[in-house]
Amino acid sequence: MDYITSVSKPLLVVGIAHGEPIAIFRTFIMKNVSLKDIAQKVGTSISTVSFVLNGKEKQVRISDILAKKIREVAKKEGYLPNKMAIGLKTGKSNIVGLVVDTISGRLFAALAEVIEKELDNHGYKVIYCSTGNNAKKGKELIELLYQHQVDGYMIIPAEGMEKEIGQLEEQGKPLVLIDSYFPKLKTAHVLVDNYGGISDAVDFLVKKQYKKIAFVYNDVAMIQMKERKRAYQEKMKGAGIKPLADWLLKVPFADAGEEQALKIELFLKKVQPDAVIFAANYLGIHGIEAIHNLKLKFPADIGIICFDDHEVFNLHQPAITVVKQPVPELAKTAVAILLAKLRKEPSSAPDAVEIKAKLIERQSTR
């Protein structure tokens, strides 16, 4: 590790706040203060303290003086309830588990921000976990969340998670899937209108007189990708163009980035399409790399359009035309469904929602 430039070993710091008098910190120090401690200090019982601190003093008719005293002491001592104990007792955690495929994906980042904010407004915290599209990890994570008594689940499902998701459902756990679902299960889900999005892309390219339109997708055998592919094939046929088998390129999801770019490069070189649809944003990114490497220019040499937007596409010169997923709407809708389930409301809203994607024309098509 010749990387390390400068190191220093800090002093052992015990109870000292550098530059600050220790007394100030003492007041706010987080100790393991329990209800028992407070009860003793105040000279009352644990139950009374619990009632007051949970705002149930009126129901149980505890005197204002006592209640006030209890609150004061709790504050002074810096009481923080032990969530483990509460969870064990009540079976509730006020936590929602969000399971995603990869944490570095754009979809996740955009989703997470909205979901965290929305759920926070309702008193729920979010735990994130990522499966890396690995079935075993997915199973483990769901079990882990289950063991931690998570109240609700939001899952971007991956291959191989069908069984665990089915089990959560059987248990009646509040659960909503995002971005995909398993057709065999009737789990609540919200996702983009994949079929419609790719249909729009094909229509758009056909109207622009593109003829040889290629389609680059991945090997994730989930409904969202299947729908995109189906839309491509049906719409092409509808336009009177029969796409040859070799106009389609399936890039393994697990391949390294450079490997994917290389495969796309070879594909484009061989097939020489006049336009390409990339069925996922990361494929589009690798596609741009490939096109750069081939020294092709777009839209002059080739037209491109990508399903799902990304910062890169907007900033690129020329900017890339995309089919944009309404990610904030997806997130909000999913949260709304989950909240209804958490509240055990007779969900008035539909439990299976598709939201339209929107084609945004930029400069990567003629």
Partner DNA sequence: CTGAAAGCGCTTACAG
Q: Where along the sequence are the contacts to DNA (CB under 7 A)?
A: 32-36, 43-48, 50-51, 53-54, 60-63, 66, 79, 81-82, 85-86, 88-90
Q: Which CB sits closer to DNA, 53 or 352?
A: 53
Q: What angle do CA 116, 119, 122 make, to 5 degrees?
A: 150
Q: Which CB sits closer to a second copy, 34 or 44?
A: 34
Q: Extract the tokens encoding 282.
A: 């990361």
Min CB(50)–DNA separation in Å:
3
Angle between helices 46-53 and 35-42 (to 10 degrees): 110
Min CB(16)–DNA separation in Å:
25
CA distance 173 to 175: 6
Q: Which stretch binds a second copy (CB under 8 A): 68-76, 212-220, 263-271, 312-320?
A: 312-320
**3-class DSSP state of 298:** coil
Min CB(66)–a second copy separation in Å:
25
Mode of pairing for the β-strands spanning 321-324 and 358-360: antiparallel
Q: Which listed option, DNA, a second copy, none, makes contact with residue 102 (CB within 5 to 8 Å by class)?
A: a second copy
**3-class DSSP state of 176:** strand
Min CB(67)–DNA separation in Å:
7
Return the residues of window 69-98 that contact a second copy according to CB under 8 A.
Answer: 80-85, 87-88, 93
Q: Cα Rg for the chain, rounded, in angstroms? A: 27
Min CB(63)–DNA separation in Å:
4
Mode of pairing for the β-strands spanning 275-278 and 125-130: unpaired
238 binds a second copy (CB under 8 A): no
Binding characters for a second copy, 258-287, by CB under 8 A (x = yes): ---------------------------x--
Q: Which listed option, a second copy, DNA, none, makes contact with residue 160 (CB within 5 to 8 Å by class)?
A: none
54 binds a second copy (CB under 8 A): no
Specify whether the CB–CB gap between 323 and 200 falls below 8 A. yes
Q: Which listed option, a second copy, DNA, none, makes contact with residue 8 (CB within 5 to 8 Å by class)?
A: a second copy
What is each CA distance from 267 to 284, 291, 293, in whole angstroms?
A: 14, 11, 13
Contact pick of 34, 46, 146, 274 for a second copy (by CB under 8 A): 146
Q: Which listed option, a second copy, DNA, none, makes contact with residue 47 (CB within 5 to 8 Å by class)?
A: DNA
Secondary structure (DSSP) of 89-144 = HHS---EEEEEES-TTSHHHHHHHHHHHHHHHTTT-EEEEEE-TT-HHHHHHHHHH
Specify whether the CB–CB gap between 277 and 232 falls below 8 A. yes
65 binds a second copy (CB under 8 A): no
Binding characters for a second copy, 20-49, by CB under 8 A (x = yes): x----x--xxxx------------------
Q: Establish whether the linkage from the previous residue to 299 is cis, with ω within 30° of 0.
A: yes
Q: Which listed option, a second copy, DNA, none, makes contact with residue 45 (CB within 5 to 8 Å by class)?
A: DNA
Min CB(145)–DNA separation in Å:
15
**3-class DSSP state of 337:** helix
Q: What angle do CA 159, 162, 163 make, to 5 degrees?
A: 135
Return the residues of window 93-132 that contact a second copy according to CB under 8 A.
Answer: 93, 102-104, 109-110, 112-113, 116, 125-130
Q: Which CB sits closer to a second copy, 28 or 245?
A: 28
Q: Which CB sits closer to DNA, 17 or 60?
A: 60
Residue 263 is inside which H or E element, if any? helix 257-271
353 binds a second copy (CB under 8 A): yes
CA distance 227 to 222: 9
